[in-house]
Amino acid sequence: MLDKNALKKAFPVILLTIVVAISVNLLSFADRLTRPQIEAQQQLKIQNLLTGMFPDMSRYDFKNDIYTIYSDGAKIGYAFIAVGKGYGGDIDILVGLEDDTTIKGISIVSHSETPGLGSRITESFFTNQFAGLSIDEVALKRDGGEVDAITGSTISSRAVINAVRETAMEKVKQLDGSE
Amino acid sequence: MGNFMKEFAKGLIITNPVFVLALGLCPTLAVTTSINNALGMTLAVLIVLLGANTIVAAIRNFVPSITRIPIFIVVIASLVTMVDLLFAANFPDLHEALGIFLPLVVVNCIILGRAEAFASKNPILHSVADALGITVGFMLALLMISSIRQTLGTGSLSVFGFHFFTLPILGKQPIAILVLPAGAFLVIGLLLALFRRTGVMKSD
């Protein structure tokens, strides 16, 4: 038999449990409500970046972390996400390949580099340098490559460049293996 | 109604959360790089603070004092998570710009501070007035800091894609340090000093 005193002592615990239970239910409801929208937003973002890179794209496939780009049924290229270790954290870069050796273009999907310095990796004067380069040309000019670093942001520049080159080599190997 | 206005008005200057209470400084320093971000953070704080103050005031009479803090935090964290999902679904750009500082509204001292110091002791209507006043005070502070940082730090002023002006010399050579973290401390420090010197805001 529960006496009144024990009930009084247990009340805070019971109340907290009820509050947490209500909160869990509300949150899973909110999650179910917003999930399709959030996924659609991410899909839309990738799609916009891909059409920016491959203006002729009519549709794309996503398999084994590689986007295969088609234009009217013909394969016109590949794209994938490369992850670089930047100054402020991971840099996600969408890399497009025209064929096994040539870069179609890159664009920065997300990053947390210093505003005004490293964050300039998103600007076109930097990313445009990659279009048309062959994969082994993707290196800083001072390292024998073809890419100019951003003044004052060598770490961020190098993080992007290395991630693009290394991931591209890896993906090309993967593509060669699968065909 | 007179009380409602009184509780609302005090948040603007007398208990301004940033310049007088000096609460919530972490998000204040972090998101005031542009006016867009400042307004986005204000919207998040408005929803969370209004919800938290209302719920806390509604349940204040039967929450035992030993579990009040965990209960307040559960309420606040649930609201913040919902706002986070809502922003991710509807304003993806803003969600990305606010980044980690959106989920961190959970530990924003303004919100727990108002729940504990005000809403847990006052009726719902007054708590709503308090939440609105504090949010407007927060917004004024963020707007002041972010307009200075954005204008001088980038050399031009634009809000939600609408371009206002580009400064003559600074447009080419902006004071970039103002949009870096150090600039936030400089601007907020100078503003605080100015308000104390002119006697607009006093802490006592």
Question: Which of B85, B96, B102 should we substitute to test contact with A (largest number of A Cβ atoms within 10 Å)?
Answer: B85
* Residues A70, A122 within the same domain: yes
* Residues A47, A121 within the same domain: no
* Residues A75, A125 within the same domain: yes
| Residues in Cβ contact with A19 at an 8 Å cutoff, skipping those fewer than 6 apart | B71, B74, B75
* Residues A42, A97 within the same domain: no
Question: Which of B48, B60, B67, B180 should we substitute to test contact with A (largest number of A Cβ atoms within 10 Å)?
Answer: B67
* Residues A45, A110 within the same domain: no
Q: CA B46 to CA A115: how far, in whole Å?
A: 27
- What's the number of domains chain A is made of? 2
Size of interface A-B (CB pairs under 8 A): 57
* Residues A164, A85 within the same domain: yes
* Residues A83, A164 within the same domain: yes
CB contact under 8 A, B180 and A115: yes
CB contact under 8 A, B92 and A37: no
Per-residue confidence in pLDDT tens, chain A, 179 aa:
567 788 888 888 898 999 999 999 999 999 999 999 988 888 888 888 888 888 888 888 888 888 888 888 888 888 999 999 988 889 999 999 988 889 999 999 888 887 667 888 988 889 999 988 988 888 888 888 889 988 888 899 999 999 999 999 988 888 887 65
B65 within some domain? yes
B138 within some domain? yes
Amino acid making up residue B136: V
B203 within some domain? no
* Residues A35, A71 within the same domain: no
Coil, helix or strand for A51? helix
B98 within some domain? yes
B157 within some domain? yes
Q: Per the structure block, which two tokens stand in for B126? A: 């007054």
Residue after which a domain boundary falls, among A30, A53, A76: A53
Residues of B with Cβ-Cβ distance to A31 under 8 angstroms: 85
Residues of B with Cβ-Cβ distance to A15 under 8 angstroms: 62-64, 67, 71
Best CA proximity match to A135, nearest among A107, A111, A100, A177: A100
Which domain range does residue A18 map to? 1-53
Residues of A with Cβ-Cβ distance to B33 under 8 angstroms: 115
* Residues A75, A94 within the same domain: yes
- What's the number of domains chain B is made of? 1
Q: Per the structure block, which two tokens stand in for A41? A: 């937003």
**E-strand stretches of A34-73:** 59-63, 66-71
